[in-house]
Amino acid sequence: MSMAKCAQRPARQQTGLALLALAACALAVPPGAAAAEATAAEVAETLDRYCAACHNDRIVNGRDTAPSMLVSQLRTTGLAVDTLDVERVGPDSDAWERVIRKLESRTMPPPGRPRPDDATYDGVVAWLETELDRAAAEAPNPGRRPALHRLSRTEYQNAVRDLLALDHLPKEFDVTTLLPADNATSGFDNLAELLFVSPATLERYLAAARKISRLAVGDTNMPPIVDRYQLDRDLIQDAHLAGLPLGTRGGAIIRSHLPADGEYVVTVEFAAAARDEHEVEVSVDGERVELFTIGGRPLVRGASGVFVFEAEPPVDVRVPLRAGPREVAVAFLEKTGANHESLVRASRRAQRREPAIATVTISGPYGVDGSGDTPSRRRIFTCTPDGGVNAEPCAREILSTLARRAYRRPVTDGDLDVLMPFYADGVAAGGFERGIQQGLERLLVSPEFLFRIERDPADVAPGDSYRVNGLELASRLSFFLWSSVPDEQLLDRAIAGELGDPAVLESEVRRMLADDRARALTENFAEQWLYLRDVQAKEPDPAFFPEFDENLRQAFSRETELFIDSVLRGGGPVTDLLTADYTFVNERLAKHYGIPHVYGSHFRRVSLTGTERRGLLGQGGILTLTSYATRTSPVLRGKWILENLLAAPPPPPPPPRTAQGGAARAGAAR
């Protein structure tokens, strides 16, 4: 199938695997053999013979028909093929697409009714698809997009990351703290019609812009941060964690952007008392900064006369740190012979004998030493004023560079005329860097940044279709593949008009997919499409599944994330989502699946040859997602497959029956 063929029918429902198949076409999938097409007369005869007896206007619209369950179902479906014109499929393309889906899946005619042979099925489908493609090419109807599309919370955070080189923000600067959650429908939280802006939401954006701009420029007058990370209490910490030093067990790695140079306090709290002594290591960016010992204290007799363990007190570690992204790790040193079996029964979790880390808090800076040399300051301050002589030209250069990327287009003098007064106010209040901070703050609340804006060309009549320009296409690409703003190369090519060249467009898509930012395609699109985030809310009953724990839940999620990422970005066929004979496991998950010779907490690709597991439907996370707490559910699993993989959700149930035997009126109280 050619790329043009894929793009001809934009009105066709493109969800689930269908959408991924469309993306695959953009990367030059070779053509396959087509089924022999029927003729218009043969299609009309087939529909009249096998479909029109039930799907006709008289029954669907309720004229001269006795009430029955079948009639209720047909009215709910609302499809009357005798009113469709096979000579003009374009005006009723939505209805014809429904016909195609039913014929492709062989769900119509229903079992027990006369059915055509496979050749007839395939011929009718091939003819309808060809005619729909032709109609779409002759009269394209891509639909209307809202002129204003607010960035979702995730898109806003990613845009800030890429615009200002700010990643792993402290909790009080994270958008999940600063901004309200986005509304979602069908699992997706980036639909334009749901992303409205209320006065309260705008206030949150103003506050977020102020905090983020101060962090980015390195404002040394900000109060100390208190960044607290809590580990799941059910997380078993008896094995080495990938990324931590060898010879350690359990613990956590905290990645945080520190606001300024100075002294910070790392506070470690523990989840259980320690009978024996245990050494705990604190490291920053891979270098040990503290080693302390907990436990080993004598038993204390309580008021009731029972000996009890006293809880381990929190431990504070004071350490000078430089501003910018830092990796703080806390872990236990492994004792000789102290390895424990990871599969701990759920009934024993509350009786944990080994101590575990409960929370890690990073607070500071205390005694600020300066703004530091951070990636965000290097990104922002592309020039510095020479003794104040060229301060304003430098400020215009800085704000122009930032605005070009933030607004996803060339910057005009009018854009700078909006930003420069805020810079001037900041200079008067606190100097050059304060001026840049206030100009940046204004930029981050500009509609040109907060909204994806597409304007109809002036020479196009309302309702007419037109080709989007290069800048709009660049923005669509970047927000789909990266959930973020375009980079400089994509912007340059869009401004130069090069994205209209299919070869250039394909090379840019391949480049973007190879970039680490394309993980957003998995983390945002795929996880919302398949409802993978709901795995975190599932709680299998420990009486039925005693080996399920938080470690296994996290492994389930990571397996599916890595698997989908490998399919979407690795160039494999989209059918691998269902049929792949490989997956990604660590030692914990490999033991659960019965896969031998896998050791350690890091994930690696393994073959599933010799097992019954294949693709998504063989993965523990998907099976957990589509099950009840005590058992599997074919109904839940089937509905999930129909809705998310096949884009063929089951129809709604028919209206309830009334006491007189008829169907209740739609919307009636019941």
Average pLDDT over every residue of 348-374? 83
What confidence score (pLDDT) does residue 571 get? 80
The CA-to-CA distance between both ends of the chain, in Å, stands at 50
Number of H helices, E strands in the chain: 25, 14
- In the chain, the amino acid numbered 294 is I
The neighbouring-strand residues paired with 357 are 270
- Nearest 10 degrees: CA dihedral of 148, 207, 422, 478? -40
Count of residues making up the chain? 670
CA distance 482 to 70: 47
Q: How many CB atoms lie within 10 A of CB 516?
A: 8
CA distance 8 to 141: 10
Tokens of 650: 């089951």
More confident residue, 495 or 345: 495
Highest mean pLDDT, choosing among 200-214, 243-257, 341-355: 200-214
* 72: helix, strand or coil: helix
Average pLDDT over every residue of 394-416? 97
DSSP assignment of 92-128 equals GHHHHHHHHHHHHTT-SSPTTS----HHHHHHHHHHH
CA distance 408 to 405: 5
Q: Are 150 and 193 in contact (CB under 8 A)?
A: no
- In the chain, the amino acid numbered 145 is R
With bands split at pLDDT 50, 70 and 90, how would you rate the model's confidence at 63? low
**Three-class HEC string of 450-479:** HEEECCCCCCCCCCCCCCCCHHHHHHHHHH
Please list, in sequence order, all residues whose beta carbon lies within 8 angstroms of the beta carbon of residue 101, skipping any fewer than 6 positions away.
Answer: 647, 648
Residue whose tokens read 């809705």: 643
Average pLDDT over every residue of 289-293? 95
Return mean pLDDT, the chain: 86
Please list, in sequence order, all residues whose beta carbon lies within 8 angstroms of the beta carbon of residue 233, skipping any fewer than 6 positions away.
Answer: 271, 358
Q: Helices (DSSP H) in 347-497: which residue ranges?
A: 375-380, 391-407, 413-430, 432-444, 447-450, 470-481, 488-495
Q: Write out pLDDT tens, residues 567-599.
A: 988 888 999 999 999 999 999 999 999 999 999
* 384: helix, strand or coil: coil
Average pLDDT over every residue of 168-177? 90
With bands split at pLDDT 50, 70 and 90, how would you rate the model's confidence at 20? low
What confidence score (pLDDT) does residue 657 get? 62
What confidence score (pLDDT) does residue 161 get? 97
Burial class (CB in 10 A: 0-12, 13-18, 19+), 114: exposed
More confident residue, 248 or 66: 248
Full set of structural domains in the chain with CATH: 3-138 (no CATH), 225-370 (2.60.120.260), 539-632 (no CATH)
What confidence score (pLDDT) does residue 506 get? 96
Q: How many CB atoms lie within 10 A of CB 296?
A: 10
CA distance 571 to 427: 51
CA distance 191 to 453: 14
Burial class (CB in 10 A: 0-12, 13-18, 19+), 556: buried
What confidence score (pLDDT) does residue 143 get? 73
Q: Which of 520, 596, 600 is nearest to 564 (CA)?
A: 520
DSSP assignment of 521-586 equals IIIIIIHHHTTGGGGGG----TTT-TT--HHHHHHHHHHHHHHHHHHHHH---TTHHHH-SEEEE-
Tokens of 208: 């977020």
The enclosing H or E element of 509 equals helix 502-514
The per-residue b/e assignment along 298-311, b for 16 or more CB within 10 angstroms, e otherwise, is eeeeeeeeeeebee
What confidence score (pLDDT) does residue 302 get? 64
Please list, in sequence order, all residues whose beta carbon lies within 8 angstroms of the beta carbon of residue 524, skipping any fewer than 6 positions away.
Answer: 154, 190, 483
What confidence score (pLDDT) does residue 64 get? 57
Q: Which of 243, 271, 268 is nearest to 255 (CA)?
A: 243
Sign of the CA dihedral 216, 218, 222, 224? Answer: positive
pLDDT > 90 fraction of the chain, expressed in percent and rounded: 59
CA distance 109 to 103: 8
Task: Give the lowest-confidence range in 94-98, 410-414, 604-608.
Answer: 94-98
Residue 2 has pLDDT above 60, yes or no: no
* 79: helix, strand or coil: coil
Tell me how far CA of residue 346 lies from CA of 42, 548, 550, 552, in angstroms.
63, 7, 10, 12
Q: Are 261 and 369 in contact (CB under 8 A)?
A: yes
* 153: helix, strand or coil: helix
**Greatest Cα-to-Cα distance within the chain, rounded to the nearest angstrom:** 94
More confident residue, 456 or 29: 456
Please list, in sequence order, all residues whose beta carbon lies within 8 angstroms of the beta carbon of residue 584, skipping any fewer than 6 positions away.
Answer: 558, 559, 562, 563, 566, 603, 604, 605, 606
Tokens of 59: 């029954």
Residue 291 has pLDDT above 90, yes or no: yes
What confidence score (pLDDT) does residue 553 get? 94
Residue 339 has pLDDT above 50, yes or no: no
DSSP assignment of 232-248 equals -TT----SPPTTSPTTE
Q: Which of 533, 521, 531, 522 is nearest to 482 (CA)?
A: 521
Q: Write out pLDDT tens, residues 215-263.
A: 999 999 999 999 999 998 878 888 888 888 888 999 999 999 999 999 9
Q: Write out pLDDT tens, residues 531-576.
A: 998 998 999 999 999 989 999 999 999 999 999 999 988 888 999 9
Sign of the CA dihedral 562, 564, 567, 573? Answer: positive
Q: Write out pLDDT tens, residues 47-57.
A: 999 998 888 88
Average pLDDT over every residue of 425-442? 97
Q: Write out pLDDT tens, residues 191-204.
A: 888 898 899 999 99
The neighbouring-strand residues paired with 317 are 266
Tokens of 68: 């029955």
What confidence score (pLDDT) does residue 185 get? 83
Q: Write out pLDDT tens, residues 613-648.
A: 999 999 999 999 999 999 999 999 999 999 998 877
Residue 28 has pLDDT above 80, yes or no: no
DSSP strand pairing (357-370 vs 225-230):
antiparallel
Residue 3 has pLDDT above 60, yes or no: no
Tell me how far CA of residue 371 lies from CA of 207, 217, 367, 454, 655, in angstroms.
21, 8, 12, 39, 66
Q: How many CB atoms lie within 10 A of CB 342?
A: 18
Q: Are 547 and 343 in contact (CB under 8 A)?
A: yes
* 392: helix, strand or coil: helix
Q: Which of 349, 334, 312 is nearest to 234 (CA)?
A: 349
Reported in sequence order, the residue ranges of 146-212 that DSSP labels E, i.e. its strands, are: 148-150
The neighbouring-strand residues paired with 362 are 227, 266
- In the chain, the amino acid numbered 374 is T
With bands split at pLDDT 50, 70 and 90, how would you rate the model's confidence at 60? confident
Q: Are 231 and 252 in contact (CB under 8 A)?
A: yes
Q: Write out pLDDT tens, residues 91-120.
A: 899 899 989 988 988 888 988 899 999 999
